[in-house]
Amino acid sequence: MDHYVNQYVVVAIFIVLGILLPVAALTAGRLLRPHKPTDPKQTTYESGNEPVGEGQVRFNIRYYIFALMFVIFDVETVFLYPWAVAYNKLGLFVLVEMLIFAGMLLIGLLYAWKKKVLQWNSV
């Protein structure tokens, strides 16, 4: 019984520290930093130039779709690396699983290709 209670105590300590340390660091930073607001400090800063145009610029949704596609396939490639390193030790079952995994990636890529997500049209 004591063993289980000790595990909960450790978890409780980590939760308290996880909340307390960031709060203490942010509070110390707020107390120690210089705070002298002036009008030039409160203005928008664009590489030393006066801001031009609106602050809200609309971007084409294709930027976000490309970024999302990149992240998806980049993360999936990271999953392939440990498999390739330990390929000789894993056996036929894991080879079949990886082929299924790569097939699912290929299906996703073909779907994106069919929906013309990967075509870049400058608008």
> How far is Cα of residue 32 from the mean position of the Cα atoms in its chain?
31
String of DSSP letters for the chain: -HHHHHHHHHHHHHHHHHHHHHHHHHHHHHHHS-----HHHHS--BTTB---S-S--PPPHHHHHHHHHHHHHHHHHHHHHHHHHTHHHH-HHHHHHHHHHHHHHHHHHHHHHHTTTT-----
What pLDDT score does 31 carry? 94
What pLDDT score does 46 carry? 64
Helix (H, G, I), strand (E, B) or coil at 80: helix
State how far the Cα of 83 lies from the Cα of 95, in Å rounded to an integer: 9
Residues of the chain predicted below pLDDT 50: none
What pLDDT score does 123 carry? 53
What pLDDT score does 38 carry? 87
What pLDDT score does 35 carry? 87
Q: What is the CA radius of gyration of the chain?
A: 26
Give the pTM.
0.46
